[in-house]
């Protein structure tokens, strides 16, 4: 069964009031692209906001708009492991963070006609895994420009020159340069920089221009073309520690072909097996039949056995924060994930065969917590904290109905939850939602009301939407499921379906033709996880702070797909969870033998905040150890057992929390022990069942009853 695209909804206008006055407007975007929803959390975001001077990571390269000497244009860099900066004490292991230095200008694509006051930079056709960058002459934008297709995983940085005279600059400086002509219209230049690294520069003249482009070594900072040029110029770095002649043979065969965009499709082969394919679209006037790209470690691990690609494991380039990338030749990357979490449902426990003692204990706790008031607790100015408050009562309702089997108490508690949820479905919360027509998404009105761009963690600027709305979707899935179990009919589901489906379209739209929402706002199918950062300029680009809330959102999509009968959504979410499990193990949740993160970081056990260019073992809200580790646990749910390996949990617990003093005396303590239930349910149960249990140890987004049920 094909699970992309998602049919329906594409022409359905969101139910929220529309606003055209978002205070943060996209900068430098081509007019045709303004007519469509604009992706907000994608890799090229720095080209859309602020100064537009911060880098964009294609992986393995970074590119940025440079305006200063020695080169005005698009600069290219690649950093090696030895260039990483560890800190704050570089001699300490584990280090708190590492980052890759930015703006080391290896080579800059420029032109004689390009200067700051004569050139515009703009972006066009922003898609899920690609965008197109233009440098255009202000005087003659249709006839004089350079076009750069920006595609994740590109092995070559490709520039299409149109009626403009090429110049190449370097802040690192050129040590040597040699141009070899393969034919009248094709050349390969070997460039050695003063840092010792070698780059290859390929030129291809268009058919209208049957003369070779001759390049001249003008200075150690500048290489110049001899004339106005129409054609393709491609730049590629030779990896360190490889046989250069062999790599050059590969690049000679592949040069002249380049990706312009990438699309995604996926199929469910069975409940437990799915495939997804990234298809790279290439320019129709390519000069080669072979496309060379670079794949991340999780890609290489999951290539389908019959995937029609050639892997060159002897040619690897270092990524910034995700290990070594492998050279791949092939237009279509087909991946297969088995062991999808099709067997994981709503229940915190595998079966309900509770002993009498356990049932009595759980009932005592439930009776204490069922008296809570979800309407009051969710009446907040934050979609994030409101969603957590609703979700904790939804999980409590599940324990009452499905674990204890107390239908009367379940009905009364569920009714309170429905009344609390109604405030949000009716959009009557403190900061109602609006549909932002400028970017194309659902945001909280607080930004418009008070001008605070960080209101609710930046929800108005598209930060963290998958975290925020995931809690609402999970709550709705439980309510709809309990209505079926308790014989309440489908009235509530029918009344609330439009609201929930709109939230899903905002964070996980699967229809490229949707007129109101961009494809997969949060989840990045190339990187295999979501990016939390929205329309904010950032030197280190996009980032993710909570793997567990990322997975919880996918889990919520899975459950909503199940209760709504949307098999495509359910299977797609199962696939996302399988990919997240693989990706988190590779880059975020660090077992002692992790091969992808530096040895100086692995002792932290979690990445902390993983940026495209930096890993920082901290959080945005504090540097306490229990926060940093716990934000990758919260909320502990049935999907946690699938995402977090027992080996990892054991290593992390023994390193940091075997001494109970490190667990603190607040709600994070309960999170840590709930996580422990995955490997040691007996000890976790003793903690939550203790007569001396302190209610302060329960996080505001969960209940003691749910935590106990996870142990039983």
Task: Please list the active-site residues.
Answer: 464, 545, 549
Distance between CA 548 and CA 580 in Å, rounded?
10
User: Which helix H or strand E contains 461, and what residues bound it?
Assistant: none
Distance between CA 293 and CA 290 in Å, rounded?
10
* CA dihedral of residues 61, 67, 69, 75 (deg, nearest 10): 10
Distance between CA 546 and CA 534 in Å, rounded?
15
Q: Which of 410, 557, 556, 425 lies closest to 483 in space, CA to CA?
A: 410
CB 591 within 8 A of CB 651: yes
CB-based contacts of 605, cutoff 8 Å, min separation 6: 589, 590, 629, 648, 651, 652, 655, 656
Distance between CA 335 and CA 575 in Å, rounded?
11
CB atoms under 10 Å from CB of 42, counted, come to: 25
Specify whether the backbone of 622 is left (phi greater than 0), alpha (psi in -120 to 50) or beta: left
First to last CA, the chain: 36
Distance between CA 589 and CA 604 in Å, rounded?
9
Q: Which of 520, 391, 534, 352 lies closest to 456 in space, CA to CA?
A: 534
Distance between CA 111 and CA 60 in Å, rounded?
25
CB 579 within 8 A of CB 528: yes
CB 570 within 8 A of CB 562: yes
User: Which helix H or strand E contains 265, and what residues bound it?
Assistant: strand 259-268
Q: How far is CA 635 from CA 59, 336, 452, 503, in A?
A: 31, 28, 27, 20
Residue 710 phi, psi dihedral angles, 5° rounding: -65, -20
CB 535 within 8 A of CB 50: no
Count CA within 13 A, CB hemisphere, residue 180.
7
Question: Where does residue 64 rank: exposed (0-12), middle (13-18), buried (19+ CB within 10 A)?
Answer: buried
CB 217 within 8 A of CB 126: no
Task: Kindly calculate the radius of gyration of the chain based on its CA atoms and give it in whole angstroms.
Answer: 27
CB-based contacts of 199, cutoff 8 Å, min separation 6: 106, 107, 190, 191, 192, 193, 235, 236, 237, 238
Q: Which of 233, 185, 182, 186 lies closest to 209 in space, CA to CA?
A: 185
CB atoms under 10 Å from CB of 247, counted, come to: 20
User: Which helix H or strand E contains 176, and what residues bound it?
Assistant: strand 174-183
Annotate 608-620 with three-state secondary structure.
Answer: CEEECCEEECCCC
β-pair type (18-19, 433-436): parallel
Q: Which of 568, 559, 556, 527 lies closest to 544 in space, CA to CA?
A: 527
Distance between CA 260 and CA 158 in Å, rounded?
9
Distance between CA 380 and CA 373 in Å, rounded?
13
CB atoms under 10 Å from CB of 567, counted, come to: 13
User: Which helix H or strand E contains 383, and what residues bound it?
Assistant: helix 383-398
Distance between CA 71 and CA 221 in Å, rounded?
9
Find how far residue 442's CA is from the centre of its chain.
19
């Amino acid at each position: 069964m094909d699970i992309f695209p998602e049919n329906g909804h594409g022409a359905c206008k969101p139910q929220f009031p529309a606003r055209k006055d978002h205070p943060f407007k996209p900068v430098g975007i081509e007019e045709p692209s303004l007519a469509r929803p604009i992706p907000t959390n994608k890799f090229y975001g720095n080209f859309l906001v602020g100064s537009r001077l911060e880098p964009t990571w294609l992986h393995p390269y970074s590119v940025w708009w440079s305006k200063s000497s020695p080169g005005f244009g698009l600069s290219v860099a690649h950093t090696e492991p030895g260039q990483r900066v560890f800190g704050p004490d570089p001699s300490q292991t584990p280090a708190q963070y590492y980052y890759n230095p930015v703006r080391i200008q290896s080579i800059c694509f420029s032109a004689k006609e390009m200067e700051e006051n004569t050139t515009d930079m703009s972006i066009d056709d922003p898609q899920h895994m690609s965008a197109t960058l233009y440098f255009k002459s202000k005087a003659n934008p249709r006839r004089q420009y350079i076009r750069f297709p920006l595609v994740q995983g590109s092995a070559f940085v490709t520039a299409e020159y149109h009626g403009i005279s090429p110049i190449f600059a370097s802040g690192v400086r050129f040590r040597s340069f040699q141009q070899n002509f393969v034919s009248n219209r094709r050349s390969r230049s070997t460039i050695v920089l003063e840092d010792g690294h070698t780059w290859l520069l390929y030129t291809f003249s268009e058919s209208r221009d049957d003369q070779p482009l001759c390049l001249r070594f003008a200075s150690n900072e500048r290489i110049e073309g001899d004339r106005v040029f129409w054609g393709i110029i491609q730049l590629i770095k030779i990896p360190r520690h490889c046989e250069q002649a062999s790599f050059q043979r590969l690049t000679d065969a592949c040069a002249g072909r380049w990706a312009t965009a990438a699309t995604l499709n996926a199929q469910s082969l069975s409940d437990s097996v799915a495939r997804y394919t990234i298809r790279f679209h290439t320019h129709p006037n390519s000069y080669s039949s072979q496309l060379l790209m670079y794949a991340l470690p999780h890609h290489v691990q999951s290539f389908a056995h019959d995937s029609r690609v050639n892997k060159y494991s002897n040619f690897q380039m270092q990524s910034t924060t995700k290990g070594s990338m492998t050279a791949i030749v092939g237009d279509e990357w087909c991946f297969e994930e088995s062991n999808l979490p099709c067997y994981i449902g709503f229940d915190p426990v595998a079966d309900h065969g509770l002993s009498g003692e356990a049932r009595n204990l759980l009932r005592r706790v439930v009776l204490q917590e069922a008296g809570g008031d979800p309407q009051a607790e969710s009446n907040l100015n934050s979609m994030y904290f409101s969603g957590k408050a609703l979700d904790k009562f939804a999980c409590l309702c599940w324990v009452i109905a499905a674990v204890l089997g107390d239908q009367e108490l379940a009905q009364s508690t569920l009714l309170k939850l429905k009344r609390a949820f109604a405030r949000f479905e009716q959009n009557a919360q403190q900061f109602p939602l609006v549909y932002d027509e400028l970017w194309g998404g659902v945001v909280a009105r607080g930004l418009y009301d008070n001008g605070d761009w960080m209101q609710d963690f930046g929800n108005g600027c598209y930060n963290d939407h998958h975290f925020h709305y995931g809690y609402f979707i999970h709550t709705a899935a439980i309510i709809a499921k309990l209505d079926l179990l308790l014989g309440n009919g489908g009235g509530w589901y029918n009344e609330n379906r439009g609201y929930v489906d709109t939230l899903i379209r905002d964070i996980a739209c699967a229809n490229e033709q949707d007129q109101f929402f961009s494809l997969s706002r949060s989840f990045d199918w190339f990187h295999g996880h979501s990016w939390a950062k929205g329309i904010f300029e950032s030197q280190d680009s996009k980032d993710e702070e909570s793997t567990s809330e990322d997975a919880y959102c996918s889990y919520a999509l899975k459950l909503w797909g199940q209760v709504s009968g949307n098999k495509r959504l359910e299977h797609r979410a199962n696939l996302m969870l399988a990919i997240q499990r693989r990706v988190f193990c590779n880059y975020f949740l660090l077992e002692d033998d992790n091969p992808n993160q530096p040895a100086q970081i692995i002792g932290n056990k979690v990445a902390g905040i993983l940026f495209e260019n930096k890993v920082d073992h901290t959080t945005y809200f504090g540097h306490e150890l229990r926060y940093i580790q716990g934000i990758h646990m919260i909320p502990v749910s049935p999907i946690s057992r699938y995402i977090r390996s027992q080996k990892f949990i054991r290593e992390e617990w023994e390193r940091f929390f075997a001494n109970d003093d490190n667990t603190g005396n607040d709600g994070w303590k309960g999170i840590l022990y709930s996580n422990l239930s995955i490997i040691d349910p007996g000890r976790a149960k003793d903690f939550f069942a203790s007569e001396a249990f302190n209610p302060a140890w329960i996080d505001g987004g969960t209940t003691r009853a749910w935590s106990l049920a996870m142990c039983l």
